[in-house]
Amino acid sequence: MKIALIQFNPIIADFEGNVRRIENRVRTAADHDADLCVMPELALPGYPPHDLVLYGDFVAHNLAARDRMLRLSAELGVGLLFGLVLANDNPTGKPLRNSAVLCDRGKVIAVKHKALLPTYDVFDEARYFEPDSAPCVAEFRGRKLGLLICEDIWTDAALLGRIEYGSDPAQLCADAGAELLINISASPWGSGKHRLREQLVAATARRTGRPCLLVNQVGGQDDLIFDGASVVCDAQGKTVARLPLFEETLFIADPERGRAETWADDDIADEIDALVLGIRDYFRKTGHSRALVGMSGGIDSAVVVCLAAKALGPANVTAISMPTRFSSKGSVDDSRELAEKLGINFEVLNIDEAFELQRKLSGFPGGIAEENMQARIRGLVLMTRSNAEGSLVLATGNRSELAVGYSTLYGDMCGALEVIGDVAKTRVYEIAARFGAIPKAIIDKPPSAELRPDQTDQDSLPLYAVLDRILEAYLDDHLGADAIIGRGEDAELVRKILRMVEIAEFKRRQAPIVLRIGKRAFGAGRRIPVAKKL
């Protein structure tokens, strides 16, 4: 059996466009004698549609798109497996299903409803969908196919630790006679996630003794980045096909024969590609093309303009340097040098006069209030230009600083997208080293907000290597103060950092959308009360 894996990039609620994108690839697959074309989870509406599913016409749009797929199947004489949202026909339970339809030559052969609904990290599927634990094994051209949807194979305790579910849908399909397992997925990426996903597919194949094929969505969607990286394993768990990361791809596979491509073992390169895709798709899918970045002469804004230039093209990126009396000459000169190397637009707007006027209007508040005032003037300039030009502002805060509140609300936190908000400061330096255009002076200079004389970040924060180690333990591993101290960290410092994180929660809630690339989403994946005992 020749199976076409269609790894494509949908747009949420663009039913007509998504079907058209699928159709182009199905026609190509049919020309290559594919028997079955497999699309990702919720391929017709795109994933995740969130509360759009609650609107009354949403299911009707899914059904209309389904009917177009059936007509395509009839026209080309090819089988199709695709995901969509259907109504729950039962009188009780959630009103909707996360479903898959298998059709052949225009006729529906089977309808599969997702069994395991994730509710952790960025997922909230139980808010909308009713699960169905019954195995779905469908006869297709003489083969029995076990149909699974994404989370349905996330049941391997040896790989994942504690499992939230009491059933194993893949094993149930095998027990019901499935000869081949097919999983359609919309599994968002975090660093190294594609390798874990391949291990799960391989483990599922070995456990059930059946070949297992997974097709994953690709593309940026708000804060989430989907990597594709679809994979096929034979019944012994050997990988026989891998699809590329972060690219739309059509691949015709035989689950019992093939050749596995090699993914580069380079997490930093993967993170760069993910962030570039996240920027590009955010702009494309929201109908924008031009970006504005406040250029400070520091490492964070340097990395953001490099990513933006790669994602959008240099001509579509404008960097604005906004010095005050506290800004070093090198910060402006270094920014100009980087802009020239990248070929992006560059402007210098001295805001010292505006700063002095604001000081007078505010009664010369002094201290941190005046420091934040400078950042807020810069935010005002960027947002005003954004309003006037129709461009989008890219914020430049990193995770380390956002986590502890070392940022200015309505200042450097202004923007439509927080590009590196899920990137630890130490990782920012590693990413910067991959961009040869960034001047050595930017990389080597001590990090500083330059909001007062001789200021450095380490006046307020520990060394970033120490800070990032504590934040990883707290935010990613969910360890409390005592456990982190038990790892050998300074007790007073740990309690100080954790308190800073919790105090800054109100700021984080108001941050722009943060592109997620880490183990746990720092945006929607972290749900902590603002009002609480510290």
| Residue type for position 338 | L
* Structure tokens belonging to residue 225: 């980045």
SS3 437: coil
CA torsion sign for 45, 518, 530, 449 is negative
Residue 429: its H or E element: helix 425-432
Tokens of 157: 């305790």
The residue among 78, 69, 61, 54 whose CA lies nearest residue 1 is 78
In angstroms, the CA 292 to CA 209 distance is 53
The residue assigned the tokens 């001509």 is 315
Q: Is 482 exposed, middle or buried (0-12, 13-18, 19+ CB in 10 A)?
A: exposed
Residue corresponding to tokens 């980087």: 338
Identify residue 272 by its one-letter amino acid code: I
> Rounded distance, CA 285 to CA 352, Å?
37
Query: Beta strands 231-233 and 212-216: pairing type?
Result: antiparallel
HSE-CB at 196 with a 13 A cutoff on CA atoms is: 18
Displacement of CA 180 from its chain's centroid (Å): 30
CA distance 147 to 113: 9
Phi, psi torsion values for 98, nearest 5 degrees:
-90, 110
In angstroms, how far is the first alpha carbon of the chain from the final one? 60
The residue among 78, 85, 65 whose CA lies nearest residue 14 is: 65
Per the structure block, which two tokens stand in for 326? Answer: 């506290």
Catalytic annotation, residues: 41, 114, 150
